[in-house]
Amino acid sequence: MPDYSSPANFTGGITFDSSGGAPGSALSTGMGTTAGATAIVDSTATSIATITVPNVACSWAGLVVIRLALTGAGHTYDSTRVWVGTLAVTRVPGAAAVATLTVVTGGSNAATSAGGYTITITVALSAVSGGVTATNTFALNVTSAGSTASTSEAQCLFIGSNGATGGVLLS
């Protein structure tokens, strides 16, 4: 087991390379968490992850799990929310990448301390960025709204399978 007793051995805000998995694996499966975002402004779409798709044939599919929590002064962690969705990404060379994000019905909920502010979440992908012959990217955006306007923090966990090493990158 690696030694995590020192912060020097830990990369903190982590980047998950979904093209990883077992070294040399052409069809790898992996799981990881993005650094997410802190101080998310109330009711403002904020990117918490980036999906990068090179101009090659590639495919990724899996689950997206998001933790969102209030962090406003005096209301830190009043409420925490989980959001669960599925993500599918596909591309053929010379065409724009396509990514589809769908909420899992019944998979999302919130826990709120007595008397605390509550929070809602909206999750959406940005439009594709980049030309059809270039690397394409999507931002995974979260919009949070407190029952009283408040900042929040969010992070994102991916669990999925990649069609090829060097394919879709989640970070």
Partner 1 sequence: MSLHTQNRASASTGFELNPVFPIDPLADTYTVNNLKPALPQSSLHSYPYVTGASTPGIVSGTATNIGLITCANVNASMAGILLLRVACNSTGHVLDSTRLAMYGITISRVAGAALVVVLSSVFGTAIATSGSDTLTTALTLAAVSGAVTATNTIQIQVTNTESGGFTSEAQLSFIVMNSQIFGPSIT
Binding mask 40-79 toward partner 1 (x if CB under 8 A, else -) reads -----------------------x-xxxxx-----xxxxx
Mask of contacts with partner 1, 87-106, x by CB under 8 A?
Answer: -----------------xxx
Q: Which long-range CB contacts under 8 A does 102-111 form with residues at least 24 apart?
A: 104/63, 107/82, 107/83, 108/81, 108/82, 108/83, 108/84, 109/81, 109/82, 110/79, 110/80, 110/81, 110/82, 111/79, 111/80, 111/81
Q: Which of 35, 96, 101, 125 binds partner 1 (CB under 8 A)?
A: 35
Contact pick of 141, 155, 160, 167 for partner 1 (by CB under 8 A): 155
Beta carbon nearer to partner 1, 62 or 136: 62
Shortest spacing between CB 150 and partner 1, in angstroms? 13
Widest distance between CA atoms in the chain: 54
Strand intervals (E) in 71-135: 79-91, 98-103, 109-112, 119-125
Which chain residues interact with partner 1 by CB under 8 A? 1-2, 4-7, 9-17, 20-22, 25, 28-33, 35-36, 38, 63, 65-69, 75-84, 104-116, 153, 155, 157, 159
